Structures are given as structure tokens and as C-alpha cells.
Structure 1
Amino acid sequence: MPDTGRAFTRGAAAGGPCVWIISYTPASDEPRLLRQAWSYREAGWSVVVAGYDGASPRPPGWNYLRLDNSWSTGGRVQRAALRAQRSFGRLLYRDLRGIPGLAQWGARLHCQGLPNWRRHGQEILQTARANPDLRPNLVIAHDPPTCAAAVALAEWADAAWMIDAHEYGRGQYAHDPSWLADGRWLATALQDYYFAAADAVTTVCDGIADLLNVEQVLRRPVTVIRSVPFAQPQKFRPCGERIMVLYHGIVSEDRGLEEAVRSLPMWRPEFSLLIRGNGDPAVALRLRELARDLGVADRLRLEPPVPFGEIVPAANRADIGYFVQGNFSPQKRFTLPNKFFEYVMAGLCLCVADLPEMAALVRRHDLGTLVDSTDPSAIAKAINGLTPARIDAAKQAAIRASQELTWEREQERLLLLGETILAERRSRIGSTVTG
């Protein structure tokens, strides 16, 4: 194979059809990607993953193309040309978006002017051409940024392709004025183009699927595949004298963590807060300083994330799984994250925001308590309302619910969808040939 400047690691050949999964994220840290790759390998497919290196070890047997996330642009002339391309693309998708077709073309032009994304697409196609035994039958693009590379690969291989939309792109950062001025128009144009072209679109919850089904031109309705974990049963662990409240996930400004720390002085003295995850170091520093200023530094602990396979057992050592964020955009309103289901699999009582997707499951399975506001006093009221007996009852309910909310069940929709669009693609190719 030609030297792309990147590592390509071949795993054991699985035979059968081949799927390429593309994600511009640390691949081994991405739970949805890990589960998808596992499902297709178990179903007898060869699997190729293209993404960035993560902190967690890669699963054995991956065919893995390591993409480099550095901002590499080449010489001065190339940098100037790409900068001009991005500027012209921005003019089309933002300032001239009222002219039909220009916004979509401008968005794609802009993204192809991003040096790393441009390079990724070239490397992916070069690697596929150099490894004909791994020619894809199906390509899965994780979110719109990867779609240009996915489309090029699928067209070269006559493969079916789908988009796995983790987020509601049109409103993902609606709380950020700078994003509203520019980013939303880029996200909207990319969605309008690629969602209409894809053989299928998947997403994480019913609320986002409902929005996409109304707003987008689609070949078929969006398929919901929730971010539930692998079955990893945990034993019931009753509350002790100290009660640990756990948040695990990204540590960032929009996750409601500052409000949680501000509420901590109002919690009953047996409660403490553990924040486990990575993210912006400045945010973590502010949380520590805030806890110190409020006199509760001894009740707040921040830890780095654990490897993928240890997320659920590590969570089981806590008592309450916490996630309360604001309802300031459609993306936040319909949030149904990995951590919600990981808390359930870990057998925790839940204390989460009263937002539609999470609230429906909490009520259906009696998993804990809902918080109707991010105000620190509302958070404290919800936490203090959880007696040891109530926490233990919710823990036991979570253990029961975890038998249903498993990837082993959820994957059936993913595999069926892949087989369906692959059969449709083959049928279209056959009709073209015979015609």
C-alpha cells in the first residue's frame, strides 16, 4: 500500500462483507463506535475503523487507520489557497444562503479547505484502494464532518452508506452567540446535503429523530439506536453512611457542573460529589476553586476517566448517577447520553434533569428523581429528598432495568438497517447493469 504517513494496523480477517466506520474522534474512547464495530465483527463482517488514537486500548482484531488530528497545511501557497477556499465557502453558506443550492455547495467547499479533514479523506481512500480485500460494502459516517470522506469511499466502492448523528447539528451549540452567527449555518447546510444523500440516518433518541424526520429530506425515516452499554451486570450495593453522587463524562462549561458544586453546601453532610472525566482543564480548576471558596473542598473529588471496559464497574462504587443540565436548545432538551444508561447498568439511583427523553425512562422504570431546574437550590432539594431507603429502591430498579437496556438487544436495529440498505444498494446496481 502507498505510504500515507499514517499507521494502518490490520486485524484478523473476518471474511464476509466489510464495513468502514469513520469518526473524527478518539476512536477507542467512543462508546457508540466501539459497540458498532463489535456488533459487525460478531455478525461476521470485516471491520475497518478510521479515527484518532484514544486513551483506551483498541479492541483486538481491529483493522485500524490512525488519522492525525494535527493542523497540517503544507507550504505558504497551499495555506493561502485553503484559507481562500474556506472564506469563499463561508460566503456561500452564510451570507448567500438564501440562493438555492449555494449554501450546501459552500459548506462542502469550506470543509474541504480544512487541512486535516481534506487529508483524512485522501488517506482513507488511498488505504481502501491499497487493501482490496477490505473494500467496503457499507460505510458509517459518525456525524456530518466525516461525510465527505464517507461519500468518496462509498462512491469508489459502490457501497451503501449511512450517517450516525450523535447530535442535533442545527442546534448543538445554540447557547453560543458566535456559533449562532456562523456555525449553525454550516451545520444546517451540511445536514441538508448529506442527510438527503445518505442511504440511512441513525440517531440516539426519539426527540432528535422526530425533528430530523420533519426538517430533513430523507430516503427513509431516521432509525433510533440508543447509546446503551453492553450487558455488564452489577451486584446491588446498599447505601452506607457516606453517599457518593457521581458525574462521569466530559468536563465542560455546558454540563451544569458549576451549578452542582454551588449546590453542594446545601446537601446533607453524608453526601459528596465525584466528577470523573476529561475535558477543559480550566473548567476543572474553576470547580476546585469554587468548592474551596464555598468551604466544601473536602466533599468534591475530581478524577480522570477510566478505560472503556471499566466505566460501569467503577460507577457501581457510587450511589447516585447525576446529570443535570439546562434546557437551552433542542440538542439539550432531547439529550439521552451514554452516561444515563451506564448509570443504569451500574445499578445506581439516578438524579437527572427533567428533560423528555431521560424523564420518560426514569418514570417508566422508577429509577430515581428528576430536577426541574439547574438552580443550585433545586438540585439540593432533589438530592436531599433521596433517603437511603429510596436510593436503595432505585438501585434495585436500575438493576432490573439494566436487563432490558443492553446493547445486545439494541444492536438488532443497527444490523437489520445495515443489511437492508446493503440489499437495496445491490438491487439498484443490479437493475442498472441489467437495464
Structure 2
Amino acid sequence: MTDLPSLLILTFSPIRSDPRVLKQVELFKGRYRVSTCAYGAAPDGVDEHFALPEDSRAWPSDKVGLVSRQYGKVYDGLPAVRAARAILPKGRFDIILANDLNTLPLALDLEPILGVHSDLHEFAPREKEDNLKWRLFIAPFMRWLCSRYLSMAASVTTVSQGIADEYLKDYGTKTGVVTNAAPYAEGTVRPVGEKVRLIHSAAGQRYRKLENFIEAMKDAPDWLTLDMIVMPNEPDYVLELKAQAAAVPSITFRDPVPYRELVATLSEYDVSVVFLPPTNFNLKNALPNKFFEAVQARIGLIIGPSPAMVDLVDQYGLGAITDDFSPESLRRTLYALTPEQIASWKQSADRAARPLSAEAQVRVWAQSIDRIAGLA
């Protein structure tokens, strides 16, 4: 076991509830000596874990440093970076897999023997571009991180081709793609019942415009229902949504389920509605977990005209695409559903489950890390 190369998987996220990072752990444990550094308890099966304090923020709050563009000082002052430096040994790991842009400078500073792979979960310079303060103060910091550090990574991956293309265009960084595909799950296609059951799960954030669902489901026919799983990211906003939905009997809010139970839960439904208005660049180019989880659950999909999702829906015949991102367009698509159409989508999802599984995607990570280790 000690002859295996050592790999640190570094993330400023709660690792046990981060599906993308957990896929990295599953892929590499047993093939490398895997250490992790993250918030929360160790994921199952790792050799070593460095727990970050829960209150160590990973986002900048040094207003003076941001305004004066002292970005090195801003980064070094991030509580998560300071906490990680206090517990992580320098020069001990062969390879570091750095998740998200805000871990990359730290990973390089830790001087791994063979190199750093950077996995970027968003296009960082435009992550919250719908927020004026973010555009004015945080975006320049993110652009500085990209310009200064991306070229120092041995290899880079991200979540969709549109985001990969943007990193190449803006920073000259060749970026591979590992989608947020769900692990392959054995499943069967369930028949459509008398009522068509829709499901939507989302972070409860105002910029996602979840009120569109409430507007679309007003006066829904009796045969159509929508369940919503909304995380309380912005509690006031979620309360507003629930108040608005109180007058719409076709909508029910249900509690979140553990990630390991999610695909089984989704399989109880007929169609997942993955409708993401492009309020910022990353949402426009999104190819989210929920898309792939619906495929593994063998249910249909209704999406807006988001380019990355459109390509896969068209290629595999997985569902319907609305004309635009308006509530009216969503309503027209929902009310036109037929059991025969949904049954066809479910069969298509069953055929697509293996090619669109995480197992097919994570090979890109394996190739990247093996190349750094000299094993490829």
C-alpha cells in the first residue's frame, strides 16, 4: 500500500455531501494513497483526512484588499486558506487534485512532488455575474487567480464544454470535460400512472427564478402534479415561494433526501423539470447533477434551451425542450405532455443510462492524474 503514489483531494466544501468530489474519492481510493482536506468528517475509504474548521470561510471579505487590488494579500487572508496551511504538510504529497479555483494557489504552494490537477466546477470569473457587487469586487479577483495560476496546473478539467471553451478563449487553458454525471444505477422503467408526476430539485436562490414553476403550474389540469425539493440557501426566498405556492394545489414542497437515496426517489416520478433561466454565464452553460440523476432514475426530462443540455436531450431522445425560459413556454410544454410521449422518454433514459453515467466520464480524471503520476 505504501508504494502507491499519494494523492491529496483538496476542496473547500463539505466533502460528504459534495457529489463531484465524492466521485473523485471513489475513483482513486485503492489506486492511490488518498488523503482529503475539506469541511466535515472524512469520506469512507480514504487513508487520511484533514478537517477544516466549519467557520473558516473560503470567500474573500477583505474589502480594502479587494478595492486596492492587493489580491495576494486577499487570498492569503482567506480563513479557509489559513486553516488549511496550518494543518497540511508541504512537499509531502505526490499529486494534489484541487477542486474549484480558490484551492489552486494553495495546492501549488503545498509543493506536491509531481504536480497539481485543477478541477473547476464553474467558470469562476463569471460565477455570480448577476450580482453588481460581485462583478465590481470579486470578479477581478477571480480573473487575477485565473491569469496567475491556471497555467501552473499540470492539467485542468471542468463540467461542460461551454465552460471549457471559455477557459481556453480567455486564458489559453486547455480544459478537459468531466460532466456531473451520476453513478450508474440499475433500474427499471416504470409505467406512467393516471397522474403525471413532475419533480424539480434546486438550491433555493433567487437568481434561479423558481417562481417560474409556480406561475407555470397555476390552473394545471388535474392529471398533472409537481413536487419541489428546494434547499434553504436563502431562507426568506424559500418562504416566499412556499407562500406563493399555497394557492396552487398542484404543487407540493417535499423535504430533501440524502444523496444516496436521490435516484431511487426520482424514479417514483415521471419527468424531471430541469429549467434554468440563464441569469449568469454558468447557468447558461449548466449541465447539472439533476439532469444525469433523472437519466439514472429512468424518467423523462423537460429542459429550457440550455445548449449543453439540448445537445444531450436531442442526441438520446430524453425529453422536451421549451421554446424559451418564460413561464408561458414552460406551461405550454407541461400541459401538452402525453403518457405515450413520457413512456418513450423513459425507455430512452434506460438506453442512455450507461453512456451518460459517471463511470464513463471519470476516465478523464483517471487519465489526467495517471499522466501526472507517470502511469499513463
2:177 equivalent among 201, 224, 229: 224
Paired with 2:215 and 2:355, the residues of 1 have a C-alpha distance of 35
Query: Aligned to 2:213, what secondary structure does the other structure show?
Result: helix
- Alpha-carbon distance in structure 2 between the residues aligned to 1:196 and 1:238: 51
Alignment partner for residue 32 of structure 1, among 1, 4, 20? 20
Listed as ranges, the gaps of 5+ residues in structure 2 are none
Question: Equivalent pairs: percent with the same residue?
Answer: 23
- Tell me whether 1:91 sits opposite 2:67 in the alignment: yes
1: CA distance, partners of 2:83 / 2:360? 37
Tell me what 1:330 maps to. 281
CA distance in 2, matches of 1:411, 1:334: 20
For 1:267 and 1:362, locate their aligned partners in 2 and report how far apart those are by CA, in whole Å: 25
CA contact 1:227–1:341 (8 Å) conserved in 2: yes
Q: Of 174, 179, 183, which aligns to 2:134?
A: 179
Contact 1:266–1:380 (CA under 8 A) maintained in structure 2 = no
Contact preservation (8 Å) 1:273, 1:301? yes
1:430 — aligned with what?
Answer: none
Contact 1:32 1:227 in 2 (8 A): yes
The amino acid of 1:41's aligned partner reads K
In structure 2, relative to structure 1, the CA distance for the partners of 1:339 and 1:108 (3 Å cut) is farther
- The partner residue of 1:64 within 49, 67, 73 is 49
Matching residue of 2:144:
189
1:46 aligns with 2:46: no
CA drift of 1:210 comes to 0.8
- The alpha-carbon deviation at position 18 of structure 1 amounts to 1.5
Change (3 A) 1:249 1:136: farther
Who wins on radius of gyration, i.e. which is larger? 1
Match of 1:265 among 214, 218, 224: 218
Equivalent of 1:420 in 368, 371, 374: 371
Indicate the residue corresponding to 1:239 in structure 2: 192
| Deviation for aligned residue 1:400 | 0.7
Could you tell me which of 20, 42, 63 is aligned with 2:8?
20
TM-fit CA distance, 1:304: 3.0
Describe the shift of the 1:411–1:300 C-alpha distance in structure 2 as closer, same or farther (beyond 3 A): same
Q: 1:152 aligns with which of 98, 104, 109?
A: 109
Letter paired with 2:72:
R
| Cα distance in structure 2, aligned partners of 1:322 and 1:15 | 47
| TM-superposed deviation, 1:413 | 1.4
Q: CA deviation at 1:88?
A: 4.9
2:72 to 108, 113, 118: 108
Quote how far apart the aligned CAs of 1:198 are: 1.0
Residue of structure 2 in register with 1:132 after alignment:
none
Counterpart residue type for residue 22 of structure 2: L
The one-letter code sitting in structure 2 at the alignment partner of 1:37 is V
Q: Whole-Å Cα distance in 1 between the matches of residues 298 and 2 of structure 2?
A: 35
Tell me if the contact between 2:318 and 2:346 (Cα under 8 Å) persists in the aligned partners. Answer: yes
SS, match of residue 150 in structure 1? helix
Letter in 2 for 1:114: L
**How many residues of Structure 1 are paired with residues of Structure 2 in the alignment?**
373
1:306 is displaced (CA, Å) by 1.9
Q: Describe the SS at the equivalent of 2:303.
A: strand
